[in-house]
């Protein structure tokens, strides 16, 4: 069994339970991360405040807090927190905002390889 | 007193007559009508000059007004076109957004299966089935949107679509622990329209009512569907004591892709499609404010409001 300390802790947030489950299934099968999956952005906010998250993967538009709000809150606790924003409708404005915050953008519908590449890249930074 | 047979007086009345003739022709649309001048500079010649200057001025103003009206009509036509494009853009954007979620489910799990054929479990397969079902619901909704004009036109008893709609939804309402009450008028009488579409509208209202009761999370809710003859035609009324619709959402509920339901539950097309169907029947659909909890939708359709140029056999 891998030493727990070596396994990055990933917080996955999407208000659509179907999409969230698929994210979790693919990442679980990959097996290199420890996952916390939440549909509620408010609960995600609390989780980020604990400072134990190594990577945030979040949907952009959600009730409560947007992915960008979660990103900002997470960086307050951990300024170098890697973040992947997942969205199906990234406007140029959104793309700019993600880029300015030095986060990654993953477009829906994503392919497994694209998700894993984004996660690997984010964790190596 | 001047004698009309006196040559100057006769000339004068002839000139005045010609001026009246010019003004009459001008008033009846002959913009080119002008008074004849003799260039003498005498009062009658000056009067002719002034008449001509005035009609020219009026002619110019009218031409200007005509140009402005034409421009306004063009602008209006462009606005209507822009409105249609905006609605189409909104629809396309909505479709893209709605399809993205189930597509993500399918591409994600497909990728998993491609990398490890044994990775998918029963839950994954169910999820894939739900995703494809969601996608076909969206496509059906869009198809109905596109084919709104292709309606069947026939006489039918308006109670029938209500009964068949109730039959489709009753099991679910009972399973959820709620009651569905049906109030019917005496049988007889018919309206002209598309019975299947009418059923679709009532099913949609009943499903929304059932969802509203489910969202409330308490058993023992009540849905009442009533049909009755009114002066304008026939009226359906679907009443529930569910969660109700927030005042800020009331104006938007008939918009395509607007939904107050939880993610994955509503396409946001049901009410807007239903609204279109009722509009095509010459009727109207309204959300009523009520004192108690829940919502009440009222649909009124005239006895024969569907356009008559429809193919009576319906679409092929």
- pTM of the full structure: 0.52
Residues of B in contact with A28 (CB under 8 A): none
Rounded to whole angstroms, the Cα distance separating A64 from A66 reads: 7
Q: Does A51 touch chain B (CB under 8 A)?
A: no
pLDDT tens across B168-201, in order? 788 778 878 899 999 998 877 899 998 888 988 8
Rounded to whole angstroms, the Cα distance separating B4 from B10 reads: 5
Do the chains contact at A22 and B108, CB–CB below 8 Å? Answer: yes
**pLDDT in 10s for each residue of chain A, 125 residues:** 444 568 999 999 998 899 999 999 999 999 999 999 999 999 999 999 998 999 999 999 888 899 999 999 999 999 999 999 999 878 888 999 999 999 999 999 999 999 999 999 999 97
Which of A17, A23, A109 is closest, CB to CB, to B100?
A109
Q: Does A29 touch chain B (CB under 8 A)?
A: yes
Contact B242, B213 (CB under 8 A): yes
Structural tokens at position B207: 């499903």
CA distance A79 to chain B (A): 30
Residues of A in contact with B104 (CB under 8 A): 19, 22, 88, 108-110
Strands B191-193 and B154-156: antiparallel
CB-based contacts of A30, cutoff 8 Å, min separation 6: A116, A119
Tokens 């009309």 found at: B4
Q: Does B138 touch chain A (CB under 8 A)?
A: no
Q: Does A3 touch chain B (CB under 8 A)?
A: no
Q: Does A28 touch chain B (CB under 8 A)?
A: no
Bridge partners, residue B302, by sequence = B233
CA distance A89 to chain B (A): 7
Give the ranges where B177-262 is alpha helix by DSSP (H): 195-216, 247-250
Residues of B in contact with A115 (CB under 8 A): 108
Backbone angles phi, psi at A111, to 5 degrees: -100, 155
**pLDDT in 10s for each residue of chain B, 316 residues:** 556 566 678 888 888 888 899 899 988 888 888 998 888 888 889 999 999 999 999 989 989 999 998 888 787 767 666 655 665 665 676 677 778 889 999 999 999 999 999 999 999 999 999 899 888 877 776 666 555 546 778 899 999 999 988 887 887 788 788 999 999 988 778 999 988 889 888 988 998 898 888 888 777 899 999 999 998 899 999 999 988 888 777 777 777 666 766 655 566 667 877 888 898 899 999 998 776 789 999 999 998 877 665 544 444 4
Which of B96, B100, B109 is closest, CB to CB, to A25?
B109
Do the chains contact at A88 and B107, CB–CB below 8 Å? Answer: no
Tokens 């005509």 found at: B66
């Amino acid at each position: 069994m891998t030493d727990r300390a070596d396994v990055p802790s990933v917080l996955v947030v999407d208000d659509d339970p179907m999409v969230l489950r698929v994210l979790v299934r693919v990442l679980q099968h990959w097996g290199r991360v420890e996952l916390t999956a939440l549909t509620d952005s408010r609960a995600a906010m609390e989780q980020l405040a604990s400072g134990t998250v190594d990577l945030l993967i979040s949907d952009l538009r959600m009730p409560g807090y947007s992915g960008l709000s979660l990103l900002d809150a997470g960086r307050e606790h951990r300024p170098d927190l890697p973040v992947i924003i997942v969205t199906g409708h990234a406007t140029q404005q959104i793309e700019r905002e993600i880029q300015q915050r030095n986060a990654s953008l993953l477009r829906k519908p994503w392919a497994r390889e694209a998700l894993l590449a984004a996660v690997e890249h984010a964790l190596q930074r | 007193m001047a004698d009309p047979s006196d040559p100057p007086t006769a000339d004068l009345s002839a000139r005045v007559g010609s001026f009246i003739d010019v003004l009459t022709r001008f008033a009846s649309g002959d913009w080119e009508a002008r008074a004849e001048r003799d260039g003498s500079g005498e009062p009658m010649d000056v009067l002719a000059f002034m008449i001509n200057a005035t009609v020219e001025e009026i002619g110019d103003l009218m031409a200007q007004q005509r140009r402005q009206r034409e421009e306004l009509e063009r602008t209006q036509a462009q606005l209507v076109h822009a409105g249609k494009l905006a609605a189409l853009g909104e629809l396309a954007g909505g479709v893209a957004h709605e399809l993205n979620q189930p597509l993500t489910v399918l591409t994600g799990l497909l990728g998993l299966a491609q990398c490890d054929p044994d990775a998918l479990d029963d839950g994954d397969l169910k999820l894939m089935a739900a995703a494809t079902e969601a996608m076909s619901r969206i496509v059906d909704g869009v198809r109905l949107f596109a084919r709104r004009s292709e309606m069947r036109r026939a006489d039918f008893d308006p109670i029938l679509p209500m009964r068949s709609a109730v039959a489709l939804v009753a099991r679910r309402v009972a399973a959820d622990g709620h009651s569905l009450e049906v109030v019917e008028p005496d049988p007889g009488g018919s309206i002209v329209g598309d019975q299947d579409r009418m059923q679709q509208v009532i099913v949609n209202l009943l499903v929304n009512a059932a969802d509203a009761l489910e969202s409330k999370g308490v058993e023992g809710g009540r849905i009442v569907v009533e049909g009755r003859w009114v002066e304008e035609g026939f009226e359906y009324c679907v009443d529930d004591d569910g969660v109700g619709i927030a005042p800020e959402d009331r104006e938007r509920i008939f918009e395509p892709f607007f939904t107050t339901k939880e993610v994955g539950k509503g396409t946001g097309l049901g009410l807007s499609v239903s609204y279109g169907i009722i509009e095509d029947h010459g009727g109207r659909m309204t959300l009523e404010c009520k004192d108690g909890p829940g919502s009440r939708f009222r649909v009124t359709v005239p006895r024969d409001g569907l356009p008559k140029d429809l193919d009576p056999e319906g679409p092929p």
